[in-house]
Structure 1
Amino acid sequence: MSAHIWWLFAVTVFFLSGTPGPNMLHALSRSVNVGFRRSTSAMAGCASALFFALVLSAAGIGALLAAMPRLFDIVRYAGAAYLIWLGIKSWRASGKGHLDAPAAISGHTPWQLYRGGFLVGISNPKLLLFAAAFFPQFIDRQHPQLPQFVILVATFLCCEIFWLCLYGLGGRGLATFLTRENTKRVFDRVTGVFFMAFGVVLLRARV
Structure 2
Amino acid sequence: MAVSQWLLFVVSTFFISATPGPNMLLAFQYGLNYGFKKTVWTLAGLTCGLVIWLVLSISGVAVLSQKMPVAFEAFKCMGALYLAYLGWQAWQSKGSEMQSDAEHVVPTPSKLFRMGVAVSLSNPKAILFFAAFFPKFVDASLPQGPQYLVLTLSFFVIETIWQLIYTVSGKALAAWLQQGRRLQNLNRVCGAIFIVIAISLLWDSAHTLLG
Counterpart in the other structure of 1:23 = 23
Summarize the Cα distance change of 1:101–1:55 in structure 2 as closer, same or farther, 3 Å threshold.
Answer: same
Alignment of 1:1-207 (within 5 A): 1-95=1-95, 96-98=97-99, 101-105=102-106, 108-180=107-179, 182-206=181-205
Say if 1:51 and 1:153, in contact at 8 Å, map to a contact too.
Answer: no
Summarize the Cα distance change of 1:56–1:11 in structure 2 as closer, same or farther, 3 Å threshold.
Answer: same
Consecutive unaligned residues of structure 1, counting only runs of 5 or more, are none
Summarize the Cα distance change of 1:172–1:99 in structure 2 as closer, same or farther, 3 Å threshold.
Answer: farther
TM superposition score normalised by structure 2: 0.91
Q: CA deviation at 1:197?
A: 1.1
Structure 2 CA distance for aligned equivalents of residues 147 and 44 of structure 1:
24
Structure 1 CA distance for aligned equivalents of residues 34 and 184 of structure 2:
15
Opposite residue 35 of structure 1, the aligned amino acid is G
Superposition misfits of 4+ residues, deviation over 4 angstroms: none
Provide the identity percentage: 39
Structure 2 CA distance for aligned equivalents of residues 13 and 123 of structure 1:
20
Structure 2 CA distance for aligned equivalents of residues 181 and 24 of structure 1:
25
TM superposition score normalised by structure 1: 0.93
Q: Deviations over 1:52-101 (max 9, x none)?
A: 11121111112221221111122111101110110111112122223883
Structure 2 CA distance for aligned equivalents of residues 112 and 173 of structure 1:
23
Structure 2 CA distance for aligned equivalents of residues 56 and 164 of structure 1:
22
Number of aligned residue pairs: give it.
205
Structure 2 CA distance for aligned equivalents of residues 135 and 10 of structure 1:
11
Q: Deviations over 1:5-54 (max 9, x none)?
A: 11111111111111111111000000111011111111111111112111
Consecutive unaligned residues of structure 2, counting only runs of 5 or more, are none
Structure 2 CA distance for aligned equivalents of residues 149 and 15 of structure 1:
20
Opposite residue 76 of structure 2, the aligned amino acid is R
Opposite residue 172 of structure 1, the aligned amino acid is K
